[in-house]
Structure 1
Amino acid sequence: MIESTEPTVRHSSAAGDTTGAQPLLELRDLDTDIALRRGTVHALDGVDLELMPGETLGVVGESGSGKTMTALSIMGLLPPGGRVSGGQILFEGRDLRSLPADEVRRIRGVRMGMVFQDPLTSLNPTMRIGVQVAEPLRVHERVGKAEARERAIEILRRVGMPRPDRIVDNYPHELSGGMRQRVAIAMALVCSPRLLIADEPTTALDVTTQRQILELIDDLREEFRMAVILVTHDLGVIAGRADRVAVMYAGRVVETAATEKLLHSPRHRYTQALMEALPESAIRDSGEHARLYSIPGLPPDLSRPLTGCRFAPRCRYATDECRSTEVTLSAGEHQHACLHPVPVASAVPVPLPTPVRAEPVPEPAGTAARKGEPVAGPAEPAAGPAESVAPAGEPVTTPVLSVRALVKDYAAHGRGLLRRTAGQVSAVAGVSFEVGPGETFGLVGESGCGKSTVGRLAVGLERPTSGQIMLDGTDIASLTGRERRRMHRQVQLMFQDSYAAMNPRMRVDAILAEPLEIQKVGDGAARRARIATLLDQVGLSRRVLERYPHEFSGGQLQRIGLARSLALQPRLIVGDEPVSALDVSIQAQVLNLMKDLQRELGLAYVFISHDLSVVDYMADRIGVMYLGKLVEVGPARDVVRAARHPYTQALIDAVPSITPNTPAVRDGVTIHGELPSALNPPTGCRFRTRCPLAQEICGTEPPLAGDGHQVACHFPLRAVSTAATADTGAVR
């Protein structure tokens, strides 16, 4: 064993001075095993963690690193076959492993609370919200039914739930994702715990809802004077929110330090690799993004004996000593378990500048603008699809995809046996954009804005209510039968959840051959040759062909999904949140692969996402959607660094960043409240009900106007010149 001898210094929590205070929670040499048919997985191996009262500890790492298993071990909620096989779990000075089961259940029900990653699966679909929130009070505190209901309403009000007296009578499926997560937080807090464990509480949420939930947890920590363990795979989520960070890999803590120190000076090579895999860490060179760093290989199999540093097989800097010598955490304030740590002098990643805050356009000098009247500006062209312009003597490039005045309405049915039509849901309302050959058009916005509907319309899975979808000059909305099936050779969809999109009873060879068989492309030998080419293109071995979808990791499944999308050699691929469910390291692999294939095959992409940092890395142009309408369209560099619409700026400010506490985050555009119903959208600018700049004139609809960079706003934000932001790098 090798161990450094730096002096140990305890970090003081940002929530208050903890000098001399006793830890609220201590994990000492914690071991957790999961018994499976093929053997025993040693999920945790000697984990040591400490949490002070009022402190927030961020626990980060890839899937399988042990972060969720640590949380479940503390709560006693291990899966079947799981058990804590060694060490201590000290809570308020008492070892939970040595206490009677009834007492442990009461401690974990009253003194601890946990928020799970997917609130829909953690809520009972057959029980009303009020009953579920009040259940801990009824079980652990023996509170009467009426009192429990009142306390449930009160805690729902304190977590920011609108109309809590009505929400208590709803079922989980009747709420949005953000509202369900607030319910899950209310359930965890209803007994006023001293410790809250949040396990990936924002992974499935868009960036604005994610920011609201994280700010809510911050506020509740101060109000309830509780400690928080924030489990996540996203380093940006814990920046500015956690006091300390513990980085886990293969069941062990490999680095721990104060958050700001770790993010600015990572020491362990695994932490460094995680940060380099973030899209925001990519470097721009003459307007082009640098390739994201991708951690090679996969985490080790924890059911087998391991020697040396567990990260060594995937580490660029590993030596023979790393592979044979087991390293423990060093002492001191910044602890790491690495024989060849990142040098302190070069530990800071790519310098990230302070973003320029966008502001409303000031009133022109000498102009006495009336209140509620938009400031006059230069004349701009009317709304409409952008025209292809080429220098004299060069041919005009025909767009691969041209969407013109696209509208999609759905009939909303009432309840009851007759299910009469109750109105029209305006999912897409007059959307126009173009995608050129080899171009990536990013489509961003909150959940419910209509971007996925546009994607389904673009690939012909649904028919528009009106408007045109021109694919290589052919309106696919007018195609029927055989013509429509042949059209699918030119455009394919890449799904968010590749596993759900595959038949679990089909092997990979059948999954990849299916589109070729449906389109009657080639004979058996030609199809096998095409499948072999596809596997080479996406970096998979021929051995995967005999396996089933459940035998693959998320990144491998997404590669298979991409291979299937490429089978018919399409010109356009629509990616609907293709990397949103992946760890940052796997995400980097998939994004790099998509860019490589685009250069090699000349593919055009429509890349749909709620994460502007990812879209900024991938896209040439970006369209921002809100409640069925495009509110801003322009070059990716301009949209991200010089946003003109308040909604776009709010999305940018909400993106989690490893550069915390920037002025834009503190003072930028913040939106509040839930997305309005598409059944009865606001008149005029649909964003006006949540816009901090809205005035009376916003009740009339602004046109999408501008030269290259278009915006639909009566009060656009100040345009920051591209030259002034030329060296700003990726979005914070």
Structure 2
Amino acid sequence: MEAPTQPLLRLRDLSTDIALRRGTVHALDKVNLEVRQGETLGVVGESGSGKTMTVLSVMGLLPSGGQVVGGEILFDGRDLRRLEAKELRRVRGVEMGMVFQDPLTSLNPTMRIGAQVAEPLRVHQGVSKAEARDRAIEILRRVGMPRPDKIVDDYPHQLSGGMRQRVVIAMALIRSPRLLIADEPTTALDVTTQRQILELIDDLREEFKMAVILVTHDLGVIAGRADRVAVMYAGRVVETGTTADLFRAPRHRYTEALMRALPESAAEGRLYSIPGLPPDLSRPLTGCRFAPRCQFATDECRTGDVLLTLDAAGNGHEFACLHPVAEPVAITASAPVAETAAKASEPLLTVRDLVKEYDAGGSGMRKTAGRVSAVAGVSFEVKAGETLGIVGESGCGKSTVGRVVAGLEPATAGQIIVDGQDIATLDRRARHHMHRQVQLMFQDSYAAMNPRMRIDSILTEPLEIQQVGDAAARRARVSELLDQVGLPRRALERYPHEFSGGQLQRIGLARSLALNPRLIVADEPVSALDVSVQAQVLNLMRDLQHELGLSYVFISHDLSVVDYMADRIGVMYLGKLVEVGPASQVVRAARHPYTQALLDAVPSPDPDRAPAPDTTIRGELPSALNPPTGCRFRTRCPLAQDICATEPPLQGGTHQVACHFPLRQEPAQETSAA
């Protein structure tokens, strides 16, 4: 479809300030963007770059102290800043819709789904309760929600993450808006659910002829979904152009750095990490704001204002850089990262036939509604100095495995053998001591820390609990930990809320290292970080592994990250391991249909890469209360036959698969060698 000549939304010199007690943060400085009807504009950048603040300014949802202080917000030719309050509410309530990053916090936990989806109709159009319910069911059906007539009576906590995101999309679309803003709509979702949500947004854009603004830090999402891209840094747009032009030939040095930081671009076993930190926007800034972190910066970059200029090719590609990139950036590694050689003949961790079940809540006189089969007979090994990656959809049981291995939850059955000792057979005192050997690194470091404790107390706490050394020795150990994770000593006097996401993950890693463990279970440690900070944390984890001889169980839904970090990968589905093998073989020669579907769902940052075949996993994950018999994947597998009702065992040599119809055979030399 040919885009209209006039933009539906145009931002002209948009400037936004946030008033704080310590001063004023100039969050946006003369931002210029536009999006046309039927077009998708991708907005990318690090945390704090201003991308979310831009869309919040448009929607009038700025945080306390926030105010648009300059510029224009033109929607269909009308400046929203000049409209009366009643008209402004109508435009923003009817003609615009927004999908927020975290659907659980965006939904009212005390309201049923149907009431929340229909609320905009009741508020802005005054429709009856019965009509609103019918239209809520219809829009839920259109966004692919199973059993929408039943879902409308459920509460948010009863739905999966993907289903909650569909509810939020339905809320935004029920008024048939002309502009849909999606702010990090898939950040916390696994790759299969992410693909479903992004395809849903694409389909709805075509159906409703909407303009879409897609805000994300995932360059792969932008490469495959957006028509044009705007790259933001420190409150400004530093580069903009068509997706194909920008990804094939980025011109700004910041855009180049973001692409080099991707796991797919790892060179010589290491990710590129952008040095330094973004500038403090509460202070006066001169020159190019990226200059302090740019290796090509000159005095001219630091002193004069650098404005957006058109590329000489005349393709509408603009960038604000005095020393632009001349050559295309290679965003695909030429070869897989070399795997770590086997470190020891005896495994550090052996998990045998691990089972974890929970009682499901009942109703009335029934105490339970059954047993949830979270982990069902999982076995694996981790050797000293090795990283085992565990991947799978949300609800597959990978985090449960991590919590049980780390000792946060007891196993229902099976063995967890650490350094030759079965944890389950140890008495309480011995098990307490064993916790020194195995530590957990949490996904959300901030939520895992006491907000009322300073960092020195947070890092000292495990040493005090385990009665390690005297006060002087503990202080020395804490200082050593800060040096290891690259944080200054003054960090000890601050509280968790005073740190960025990447700094908090470094503190979380420091705490997990406090007792000199041999094994760290890292549960989604970088899932919420942008690519530049993610690169810093992953490089740090690999450096410490080589320095200290650590082993990792690395849990993630991001296969590109696991491919970079892991020596071996185990793929889980509904409580079962369905494939285990060397990382390069699992990623590049998958044997199980489920693994291949996960790989095909991963968004690629390479615009020239051929689209993956449509192996999207259909339907929702079956209930762990009543899992399918035999192969648990058979109800969603395109290759399933009658024999799949009998459970296939993990079989093979170094590359094992639990499938009656594997996609590939293991090389004969590997099987015989095993």
Please give the TM-score of this superposition, normalised by the length of structure 2. Answer: 0.96
Superposition deviation, residue 666 in structure 1: 3.5
Partner of 2:156: 172
- The reply to whether residue 336 of structure 1 matches residue 283 of structure 2 is no
Separation in 2 of the partners of 1:587 and 1:278?
9
- The reply to whether residue 556 of structure 1 matches residue 540 of structure 2 is no
Partner of 1:125: 109
Partner of 1:575: 522
Partner of 1:679: 625
Separation in 2 of the partners of 1:574 and 1:419?
36
Residue correspondence of structure 1 range 483-498 to structure 2 within 5 A: 483-498=430-445
Separation in 1 of the partners of 2:665 and 2:531?
32
Contact 2:331-2:605 at 8 Å conserved across structures? no
Residue correspondence of structure 1 range 218-297 to structure 2 within 5 A: 218-283=202-267, 285=268, 289=269, 291-297=270-276
- The reply to whether residue 302 of structure 1 matches residue 281 of structure 2 is yes
2:635 to 678, 689, 708: 689
- The reply to whether residue 412 of structure 1 matches residue 360 of structure 2 is yes
Separation in 1 of the partners of 2:530 and 2:216?
10
- The reply to whether residue 215 of structure 1 matches residue 199 of structure 2 is yes
Partner of 1:185: 169
Q: Which amino acid aligns with 2:146?
A: P
Separation in 2 of the partners of 1:435 and 1:242?
41
Give CA deviations for 1:189-235 in whole Å, capped at 9, x if unaligned.
00101100000000111111111000000000000011100000111
1:506 to 445, 453, 461: 453
- The reply to whether residue 616 of structure 1 matches residue 579 of structure 2 is no
Separation in 2 of the partners of 1:259 and 1:686?
39
Give CA deviations for 1:487-512 in whole Å, capped at 9, x if unaligned.
01111000001111111111111111
- The reply to whether residue 315 of structure 1 matches residue 301 of structure 2 is no
Partner of 1:63: 47
Separation in 2 of the partners of 1:176 and 1:534?
38
Shift in CA distance, 630/661, structure 1 to aligned 2, threshold 3 Å = farther
SS at match of 1:470: strand
Contact 1:352-1:659 at 8 Å conserved across structures? no
Aligned residue pairs total 661
Q: Which amino acid aligns with 2:348?
A: V
Separation in 1 of the partners of 2:335 and 2:384?
35
Separation in 2 of the partners of 1:550 and 1:577?
20
Partner of 1:373: none
Contact 2:9-2:35 at 8 Å conserved across structures? yes
Shift in CA distance, 351/602, structure 1 to aligned 2, threshold 3 Å = closer
Partner of 1:603: 550
Shift in CA distance, 233/694, structure 1 to aligned 2, threshold 3 Å = same
Superposition deviation, residue 459 in structure 1: 1.2
Partner of 1:708: 654
- The reply to whether residue 325 of structure 1 matches residue 273 of structure 2 is no
Shift in CA distance, 350/192, structure 1 to aligned 2, threshold 3 Å = closer
- The reply to whether residue 399 of structure 1 matches residue 347 of structure 2 is yes
SS at match of 1:240: helix
SS at match of 2:3: coil
Give CA deviations for 1:157-191 in whole Å, capped at 9, x if unaligned.
00000000010111111111100000000000001
Superposition deviation, residue 463 in structure 1: 1.3
Shift in CA distance, 719/642, structure 1 to aligned 2, threshold 3 Å = farther
2:330 to 344, 349, 352: 349
Contact 1:643-1:719 at 8 Å conserved across structures? no
Contact 1:60-1:67 at 8 Å conserved across structures? yes
Superposition deviation, residue 348 in structure 1: 2.8
Separation in 2 of the partners of 1:721 and 1:70?
53
Residue correspondence of structure 1 range 410-489 to structure 2 within 5 A: 410-416=358-364, 418-489=365-436
SS at match of 1:666: coil
Partner of 1:17: 2
Partner of 1:38: 22
Shift in CA distance, 259/160, structure 1 to aligned 2, threshold 3 Å = same
Contact 2:332-2:606 at 8 Å conserved across structures? no
Contact 1:642-1:720 at 8 Å conserved across structures? no
Greater relative contact order (Cα 8 A, min sep 6): structure 1 or 2?
A: 1
Give CA deviations for 1:541-586 in whole Å, capped at 9, x if unaligned.
1101111111111111111111111111111000000111111111
Shift in CA distance, 243/396, structure 1 to aligned 2, threshold 3 Å = closer
Give CA deviations for 1:49-75 in whole Å, capped at 9, x if unaligned.
111110000000011100001101111
SS at match of 2:347: coil
Superposition deviation, residue 347 in structure 1: 2.0
Shift in CA distance, 82/437, structure 1 to aligned 2, threshold 3 Å = same
Contact 1:30-1:87 at 8 Å conserved across structures? yes
Residue correspondence of structure 1 range 505-654 to structure 2 within 5 A: 505-654=452-601
Q: Which amino acid aligns with 1:487?
A: M
Give CA deviations for 1:608-632 in whole Å, capped at 9, x if unaligned.
0011100000000000000000000
2:188 to 204, 209, 219: 204
Give CA deviations for 1:58-102 in whole Å, capped at 9, x if unaligned.
000011100001101111111111111111111111111111110
Separation in 1 of the partners of 2:390 and 2:442?
15
1:145 to 129, 141, 146: 129
Contact 1:354-1:662 at 8 Å conserved across structures? no
Superposition deviation, residue 431 in structure 1: 0.5
Partner of 1:77: 61
Q: Which runs of no fewer than 5 residues in structure 2 stay unpaired? A: 670-674
Separation in 1 of the partners of 2:335 and 2:114?
44
Superposition deviation, residue 243 in structure 1: 0.1
SS at match of 1:239: helix
SS at match of 1:689: helix
Separation in 2 of the partners of 1:275 and 1:719?
35
Superposition deviation, residue 413 in structure 1: 2.3
Contact 1:642-1:722 at 8 Å conserved across structures? no
SS at match of 1:216: helix
Give CA deviations for 1:367-390 in whole Å, capped at 9, x if unaligned.
xxxxxxxxxxxxxxxxxxxxxx99
Please give the TM-score of this superposition, normalised by the length of structure 1. Answer: 0.88
Contact 1:649-1:668 at 8 Å conserved across structures? no
Partner of 1:381: none
Superposition deviation, residue 139 in structure 1: 1.2
Give CA deviations for 1:657-699 in whole Å, capped at 9, x if unaligned.
1024744x43152211111110000001000111111111111
Separation in 2 of the partners of 1:549 and 1:83?
27
Separation in 2 of the partners of 1:350 and 1:129?
42
Superposition deviation, residue 721 in structure 1: 7.1
Q: Which amino acid aligns with 2:357?
A: D
Shift in CA distance, 443/211, structure 1 to aligned 2, threshold 3 Å = same
Superposition deviation, residue 241 in structure 1: 0.6
Separation in 2 of the partners of 1:89 and 1:498?
37
Separation in 2 of the partners of 1:454 and 1:660?
36
Separation in 1 of the partners of 2:598 and 2:150?
30
Q: Which amino acid aligns with 1:400?
A: L
Q: Which amino acid aligns with 2:475?
A: R
Separation in 1 of the partners of 2:162 and 2:443?
19
Identical columns (%)? 78
Separation in 2 of the partners of 1:514 and 1:465?
30
Separation in 1 of the partners of 2:666 and 2:247?
29
